[in-house]
A and B are shown apart, each in its own frame.
Chain A
């Protein structure tokens, strides 16, 4: 597999799993606005995953659906951050904000790619992600503005920080630290990143649910 396909699959898997995790708030978010927001963000992320899988599928001679649903759990390349199951609210916001901050740095780098297809798709994805980032930052500021919210958010960020570093390649991590510390107004611990390639038990659990329809009707479900 080429480095290009490997890169496309890594990002697509991140977006698919995070999209799926975000959709777990559909119907039960603590505010109606957030129910709509997380559902809409999930839809966008899965749309990005689909477009990235389609590019990769062309090279591999397969289809986006086969890449999304027909691999074994240990073949997915998604960062452990997006594998974690639906988190309580402060941790949900911490993951959302850490992922979107890391994703922005990754997209900025990809937009400069010499490969016009990669640069083009990154620029298109970035337009939509701008709304996710605004939403995430608004929530971080909101939680930081009250004592209880600040304490809960800070605990959640500390817990997820090694996972957040694992979303990016080593050379982009210092920039993630810089941006995250700037918005939080404090320094973050020096920790060992939990990198791509680690498969949390929660990944297999989600895979089981995500691929259930596909596995029950391998010839293609019709309805």
Chain B
């Protein structure tokens, strides 16, 4: 019989399909794991709704639980319970090491453009002399920034 702990440990091995340096557990998208008889129920909170990796993530979780000898049912939870604040501290460090500035913590009140225009730390050289180049980037979760100190463009995980 598979345990909840074994399932969490297995899910920790699944890399994010688009940013493979972090796992689905680091990303905070696994909301709950429950064992019901012979089957495992996983509550999954999608990141960005248009992210093409969502189906891949769900399939990877089912396959991983199958390797443990159990069947998984993935329930997609569509509410605002996932935010970038759910990315673990270890996950944020892994993002930075891979050249992605991690998302800033959410703040109370509405997100304003001026908050994005602050000098976030460059993941390459650590300078805060950086500028927002584009709110949007190559995937729904990323913005494009530029470091004036090391003259390197870099991506930042959007805060949502």
Contacts and interface: CB of A to CB of B under 8 A. Distances in A.
Nearest to B54: A47
B159 to A, nearest CB: 9
B48 A44 contact: yes
A73 B79 CA distance: 31
Contact of B50 (A48, A116, A130, A137): A48
B112 A123 contact: no
A48 B49 contact: yes
Interface of A is mostly: helix
Tell me whether chain B's interface is mostly helix, strand or loop, or mixed. loop
Contact of B113 (A43, A44, A138): A138
A47 B113 contact: no
Interface stretch (A33-41, A150-158, A214-222): A33-41
Contacts, number: 79
Contact of A131 (B49, B77, B80, B158): B158
B50 A44 contact: yes
A46 interface: yes
Contacts of B134: 33, 36-37
Q: Report the interface size class on chain B.
A: 20 to 34
A45 interface: yes
B135 interface: yes
Interface stretch (B11-19, B30-38, B91-99, B136-144): B136-144
B108 to A, nearest CB: 14
B112 A134 contact: yes
Contacts of A135: 135-136
B145 to A, nearest CB: 12
B83 interface: yes
A121 B140 contact: no
Nearest to A125: B49
A40 B78 CA distance: 20
Contacts of B77: 120
Contacts of A117: 78
Contacts of B158: 131
Contact of B78 (A120, A131, A137, A138): A120
Given A46-B50, A47-B51, A125-B49, A37 B136 contact: yes
Given A36-B138, A43-B140, A124-B49, 17 more contacts: A33-B136, A39-B136, A40-B137, A44-B140, A47-B50, A55-B78, A120-B80, A121-B78, A121-B79, A123-B80, A124-B78, A124-B82, A125-B49, A127-B80, A131-B135, A134-B111, A134-B116
25 contacts: A37-B134, A37-B136, A39-B136, A40-B136, A40-B137, A44-B48, A44-B49, A44-B140, A47-B49, A48-B50, A50-B50, A119-B79, A120-B78, A123-B79, A124-B79, A124-B82, A128-B49, A130-B160, A131-B111, A131-B135, A131-B158, A134-B111, A134-B116, A137-B113, A138-B113
